[in-house]
Every structure is written in structure tokens, then in C-alpha cells.
Amino acid sequence: MYSYIGKRILQIIPTLLGVSIFCFTLIHLIPGDPAHLIAGMDASPGEVDIVRERLGLDMPLYEQYWNYLSHLLRGDLGISLKTERPVLQEIMTRFPSTIQLTVMSTIVTIIIGLLAGIVAVTKPNGGRDHAAMLFSLIGISMPVFWLGIILILVFSYYFPILPSGGSSQFKHFILPSLVLGVSSSAVLARLTRSSMLEVIHQDYIRTARAKGVKERLVIYKHVLKNALVPIITVIGLEFGSLLGGAVLTETVFSMNGLGRYIIQSIQFRDYSAVQGSVLFVASIFVVINLIVDLCYAAVDPTIRYERKGA
């Protein structure tokens, strides 16, 4: 197991290196000159050149990337071109809001998605199944920003129960987490249903029923437990997607999160901020995938035995 963890950690290095190269190249292809934005619209060409030289934007791309990589290896994500503050400091001031939103959205996803999938599989092709799958279809089809606006109209305007924006208190995260959670739970519900249907017709399930085991125990102890591997995979992927994909939700609800910070940095052509933020999110996503792989061994002993013999 320790050798497997070591191999996966070593695989993180080329992954993050590839992400840094891709992000660096892509951000420099975006039209616009950050030096001109910083110098001001009325700045002369000479003043813009001075700003460009001060920021190191006059150097060839490979030199800019090498400087970025050398600072990155020392734990320095660079200085924001807009605020002139360390990018890591900017990220850490916003990351708590994003991680809280992601965790709450994942909890909503697990609760709604698992319940809908379990309800659907207890009566296949019945009324419950059709209702659960209709819910998942609606959840997948609804755009996140549209659902966010609808919830704001209902719970903040017509019935002023919850705030429509902000990120300083727990109640500010309720509506955004519902928006993200409902959308992601639709995917989890369909996968839970299909995974449990593959297990529910196995011989050992029929044997458990023949022995008189209660149907509730059959579903939760035998069927769900043996269908958890793909479910855990989707939960891990959804957590990473929610972490990096909360951009629209944070914008709709005016949250001071990492996703909104990335959008603002892109609009300002803040190279350092965009590169650092994307690399930060990618690092967390890779670590989450490692944790998900380790959870496999706890859920399915055969995976642990295969790795031990490998």
C-alpha cells in the first residue's frame, strides 16, 4: 500500500507540470495587454513599455515560464498584477469560502443523489423509479445560473427567508450549495441506480433474501455496499468539479470565492493570478483523486489484495 501511495505521489509531479504549461500557454493566447490595463487607457506607449518591462512581460515566453517555474518550486505563485499582492495570499483569503461551499454542496449531492438512486432501485420501472429518474433528468438539464436566479427570486425576494448574496455567514451558503448540490446529485442518482441494479441480481443477493434477511438490510448492507466503488469515484470527481466549477454560482450569489477571483483575474489579464489559482485547484483535485483511490481499498477488499500482489 505504501509503495502504491508513493507511486501515485510521483505521478502528481508530471501532472501538475503539464497543467502549468497548458495554463501558461493558454493565458498568453488571450487577447489583451495587462501592461496597458495597469498603465491606464491614457498612458503613452513609453509608459506602457516601462510597465511591461517591470512586470517581465517583455521577455520571451520560455524565459517567462522558466521564471514562473523557478518561483513555483520555492512555493511562490507570483505577484498579482492587479493588486500587487502575493497570489497565494489572495487565494487563501478566498479559498475558505470556496471550500465551505464545495463541502456543503457535496453533502447535498450525496444525500439527494443516494436517496434518489436507492428509491429508484427498490421498485425498478415503477412509479418511484420514473419519478427519481425524472428528477435526475431535470437536475442535469437546468443551468446552474438559471436555478440560482430562481432560488433568489423565491427565497430572497418573494419570501425573504435567506440572503441573496455574501459569504460571511453560514446562511449565505445555503442557496448556493442547493444550486450546486441539486445539479450534481442528478448524476449521482443515475449512477447509484445503475450500479445497484448490476448488484441486485447477483446470486448472493438472492441467497440473502432466501435466508429471510429483511429487504432494508439487503439494500443497504449488501447491495449498496457492493456498488460503492463507482459511486465513490463519482463523488470524488464531483467534489473536484464543484471546487473548480463554482464560478457561475459564486458570481450569481456575489460570493468572495476562488472561482469569482479567477474570472476577475481573466478579465484583467492577471497572468500570475490565473496561473496560480488554476494550479492550486488542480493540485487539490489530484490529491482528491488519490484519496478516492485509497478509499477503494477500504470498500472493496479485492482491490487491496490485487495491489498487495502487484
Is the Cβ–Cβ distance between 68 and 46 less than 8 Å?
no
Specify the pLDDT at position 297: 63
What is the four-CA torsion angle of 175, 141, 113, 212, rounded to 10 degrees? 150
Residue 162's φ and ψ, nearest 5 degrees, are -120, 150
Higher pLDDT, 280 or 40: 280
Specify the pLDDT at position 303: 57
pLDDT-based confidence at 301, cuts 50/70/90?
low
Taking alpha carbons only, the member of 148, 161, 183, 155 closest to residue 255 is 148
Tens digits of residue pLDDT in 172-216: 888 899 888 888 888 888 888 888 888 887 888 888 888 887 878
CA–CA gap between residue 198 and residue 214 (Å, rounded): 20
8-state DSSP, 41: T
Specify the pLDDT at position 107: 92
Q: Residues 216-221: what's their mean pLDDT?
A: 80
CA–CA gap between residue 112 and residue 177 (Å, rounded): 12
Is the Cβ–Cβ distance between 166 and 269 less than 8 Å?
no
Specify the pLDDT at position 82: 78
Tens digits of residue pLDDT in 226-282: 788 788 888 888 887 777 667 778 888 888 888 888 888 887 777 788 888 888 888
Average pLDDT, the chain: 80
- Asked if the model's pLDDT at residue 4 lies above 70, the reply is no
Question: What is the maximum alpha-carbon separation in the chain?
Answer: 86
Q: Residues 77-81: what's their mean pLDDT?
A: 80
Residue 21 CA: distances (Å) to CA of 13, 36, 116 = 12, 24, 41
Specify the residue for cell string 503539464.
18
Instruction: Kindly report the number of other CB atoms within 10 A of residue 276's CB atom.
Output: 28
What cell was used for 289?
Answer: 483523486
Domains in the chain, ordered, with CATH? 2-73 (no CATH), 91-309 (1.10.3720.10)
Higher pLDDT, 291 or 309: 291
Highest mean pLDDT among 19-33, 65-79, 95-109, 242-256: 95-109
Q: Could you tell me which residues are beta bridge partners of residue 79?
A: 86
Specify the pLDDT at position 309: 45
- Asked if the model's pLDDT at residue 305 lies above 50, the reply is no
Tens digits of residue pLDDT in 102-153: 899 989 989 988 888 888 887 777 787 888 888 878 877 888 888 888 989 9
CA–CA gap between residue 280 and residue 142 (Å, rounded): 29
